[in-house]
Chain A
Amino acid sequence: MVKTPTVITGTVGMDAHVIGTKVLSRALREAGFKVVELGMQVTPEEFISVAQETKADAILMSSLYGMAELDLKDFSKKKMEAGLQDVLLYIGGNLVIGRYDPKDVEPRFKALGFDRVYPPGIEPEIGIEDLKKDLKSRGKM
């Protein structure tokens, strides 16, 4: 039997740019995922408790306002205490202030515990393909 993976979407912290996460949630649903759509301004703690409650397989965060690094300080540690080590963690958007080279930013977010980091304006399909690949390699799809 093939399990339908559960994923959580939302914008993190005080970020209210909700369009990207809406588009992504719709694409994920169309691709057959069960999507728990938290919308905008979701606290890191909310992502964690919803992941525990829904036994989610992945969390896909968006952030456009440049403060994600601060919002997500210690997020991976909190995820550990919450027993969510196996939950995949993706993030995409304008992750730091000003113009930047995504190549410089990716390692910083990887160090925060993110499995995949995307620049702004990316097609949802790319992320979804990565997600399927990662879930399959973990035997969750």
Chain B
Amino acid sequence: MNDIKLLIDFGSTFTKVVAVDLEKIEVMAAARVPSTVETDITVGLEKALKEISEKTGITDLNKRKSLACSSAAGGLRMVCIGFVPELTSKAANLAALGAGAKVVGLYSFKLTSREIEEIEKIAPDIILLSGGTDGGDEAVIIHNAGMLAKTAKKIDNIIVAGNKTTYDAIKNAFKNSGKRVIFTKNVMPEISVLDTAPCNKEIREIFLNNIIKAKGIAKAQSIVGEIIMPTPAAVLEAAKLLAEGCEGEAGYGELMVIDPGGATTDVHSIAQGIPTISGIAMVNTLPEPYVKRTVEGNLGLKYNIDSLSEFTRGKKLPQHFTEICRSFHEGQLPQSSEEITCHLFLSRVAVEVAVTQHVGRLEKVYGPTGEMLIQYGKDLTGIKTVIGTGGPVIFSANPREIMEGALFQKENPLVLKPKYPILYLDEQYILYAIGLLAQIEPKKALLLAKKYLKQI
């Protein structure tokens, strides 16, 4: 029998299953059914598995060996706390995003009791507490730990990744608090040094061991294998593999993945982002991570359509734009030609804005030798590969038109978007599956991706 692997994504709206033949390196079947997390996650899963069995004609699928990711039940919701907004707060935010979390709150300086109330109301799955470089400021993180120790019982997972000098004091502050407190390495051990990997590992571990159980997702593990990471992390893993390649198979090189969705638009870049023109100085308070994920929370094609349509100001709007936007918000999918035009237009704006926020920019300053250019963020003008995924692009009438929103614009030459990339579409919606498979069979995962990513 062929070596068949099931790769599963428990999404907030859909449960997706892909069956991959690892010998032939091909997708045998895919299924997409509404998620049933609210009631019993296994109902939707069984339905999707049945569909796969029917399509492949294989009744004894090896479910136990499947791999899964999840963004169901709100995804992995995190609150990040640091000291200075541009430094440890930002470092913590980058660490959480890089681990595939949804950052639902970001705080700086000493927390007030009002902010603590707010955090209790948000009730995040994990709190990431940072502050101070190693050997640096102690007062703020110790104060904040003290405040968090007094929070309600539902605040139960805390990762401490700040000034290591304070760890004994923080351990004391949380004594008898009944909370799970994990200590890891500082996200910003020195000024202008970012170290998110150890933090990332702890976030995944808590996700795996605690969060999915708390959300009722773990029940699926009685049928299938382990749910190993949040879905955005799986997409990020796929992006990393596609960029870097693996032993025996070269990757695409530096690249960008754009993922517009119903609520947010995610952009991932795997790139150094160093200046492509000579004589440019880089000014970054914090270095830009090589693997960078940004999430534009206000750019969604369904839930956040109001804030998305704010960005259409000054553009020529398609006919009946406002009415049609309202219908999308209510869950209507584009059908008529006018609706399709509006949806295309909005998706393009979402991609345009999200990529502009993600990439770096140049600024003119005047120095001793005249005009100089200063670069903030990553220069992604030289990137050769841009991949589009996510419902709004994949199921669009014209994916290329949407993806072109990611490209460099002559009228905005200081925004460092890709100039001449090849555009690809994740037509089969398998990027998450590539990321999951990359954990055990990186070469096969890469070959599979190369086979199914379609140049547009």
Contacts and interface: CB of A to CB of B under 8 A. Distances in A.
Interface of A: 44-45, 48-49, 52, 65-67, 70, 73-74, 77-78, 80-85, 97
A81 B132 contact: yes
A52 B367 contact: no
Specify which of B138, B192, B365 lies most central, judged by the most chain A CB atoms within 10 Å of its CB.
Answer: B192
Contacts of B366: 97
B239 to A, nearest CB: 30
A81 B367 contact: no
Contact of A80 (B137, B188, B368): B137
B132 A83 contact: yes
A17 to B, nearest CB: 11
Contact of A73 (B84, B283, B367): B283
Nearest to A69: B365
10 contacts: A44-B191, A52-B136, A74-B285, A77-B84, A78-B87, A78-B192, A81-B84, A82-B132, A82-B133, A82-B135
Q: Is the interface of B mostly helix, strand, loop or mixed?
A: loop
B368 A65 contact: yes
Interface in B111-156: 131-133, 135-139
Contacts of B367: 66-67, 97
Interface in B148-178: 163
Given A65-B368, A70-B374, A74-B86, A81 B285 contact: no
Contact of B285 (A77, A82, A83): A77
A48 B283 contact: no
A83 B83 CA distance: 11
A120 B367 CA distance: 18
B190 interface: yes
Interface residues of B, number: 26
A75 to B, nearest CB: 10
B385 interface: no
Contacts of A77: 84, 86-87, 285
Nearest to B83: A81
A82 B368 contact: no
Interface string B173-216: 00000000000000010111000000000000000000000000
A80 B108 CA distance: 12
Specify which of A77, A83, A97 lies most central, judged by the most chain B CB atoms within 10 Å of its CB.
Answer: A83
Nearest to A98: B366
Given A82-B137, A83-B136, A70 B88 contact: no
B133 to A, nearest CB: 5
Contacts of A67: 367-368
Contacts, number: 65
Interface string B84-100: 10111000000000000
Contacts of B83: 80-81
A74 to B, nearest CB: 5
Contacts of B132: 81-83
Given A81-B83, A81-B87, A81-B188, A70 B285 contact: no
A49 B190 contact: yes
Given A70-B374, A78-B87, A82-B191, 8 more contacts: A45-B191, A66-B368, A70-B281, A77-B285, A81-B133, A81-B136, A82-B133, A82-B135
Specify which of A48, A73, A80 lies most central, judged by the most chain B CB atoms within 10 Å of its CB.
Answer: A80
A82 B283 CA distance: 19
A70 B283 contact: yes
Contact of A70 (B133, B139, B365): B365
Nearest to A64: B368
Given A65-B368, A97-B368, A80 B190 contact: no
A58 to B, nearest CB: 18
Contacts of A84: 136
Given A45-B192, A70-B283, A74-B285, A82 B86 contact: no
Contacts of B283: 70, 73
B205 to A, nearest CB: 27
A46 to B, nearest CB: 10
A12 to B, nearest CB: 14
A70 B374 CA distance: 10
Nearest to A15: B368
B150 to A, nearest CB: 24
A44 B163 CA distance: 20
Contacts of A80: 83-84, 137
Specify which of A66, A73, A81, A83 lies most central, judged by the most chain B CB atoms within 10 Å of its CB.
Answer: A81
A117 to B, nearest CB: 20
A65 B132 CA distance: 32
B137 A83 contact: yes
Contacts of B190: 45, 49
